[in-house]
Amino acid sequence: MPLDLFFALVLFAFVMAMTPGPNNIMLTASGVNFGFARSFPHMAGVEIGFLVMVAGCAAGLGLVFATVPALQLGLKIAGAAYMLWLAWKVANAKPAGDGDAEVAAPLTFLQAALFQWVNPKGVLAALSGIALFMRPGHAFTDFLIMLTVYGVATLASVVVWTGFGVALRRLLTNPRHARIFNIAMGLLLVASIVPMVA
């Protein structure tokens, strides 16, 4: 891969990974409510799930979704429904230290990994990256480079956003403030559905 194309890929991957989106909203909320260690399965699910989804798109699933409108509609409906459920879960999460017997659980590895298939920002990053950075005749080597860069960018993103949530946790020791934060994160997640269904 030429150096200019590689640098463009690195910039694209980090911008897509680090800017706010559904994954980063949920990871921040998880960091606030559950801390870094308990959020680790969620973080790992985002990392592995996204890379598997990118590989699936590169193998041809992206083309199938692009050419079959019924599949696109089904993905939008399933994605919107799942994101609404996640928004409800985030908005109603109770911080681990608030003394309540019924504390919500963070997302599991599998839940976070499966979410990547209905996350509009992640799907856009995968399909755009494949279209922009996989050259005819060099598809396999370009794919390996892209997957590595995406892996590093996603790892940086999950660590930073979960860590940001952990830092906010110290400021949200008041249960009322934590509740307001969780509702705000849930509403932001609902707002992130709009581009998907528009």
pLDDT, one tens digit per residue, over 136-149 is 888 889 999 999 99
Q: Is residue 34 part of a domain?
A: no
Residue 174 has pLDDT above 50, yes or no: yes
Taking the C-alpha atoms of residue 35 and residue 184, their distance in angstroms, rounded to an integer, is 18
**Residue 52 placed within a domain:** yes
Of the candidate ranges 4-8, 151-155, 161-165, 194-198, the one whose mean pLDDT is the lowest: 194-198
110: Cβ contacts below 8 Å, ≥ 6 apart: 45
pLDDT at 97: 54
5 located within any domain: no
Residue 158: which domain range? 44-197
Domain count, the chain: 1
> Average pLDDT of 122-140?
86
Q: Is the dihedral of CA 161, 127, 58, 5 positive or negative?
A: negative
Note the pLDDT tens digit of each residue in 68-121.
777 777 777 777 788 788 888 878 877 655 555 445 678 899 999 998 988 878
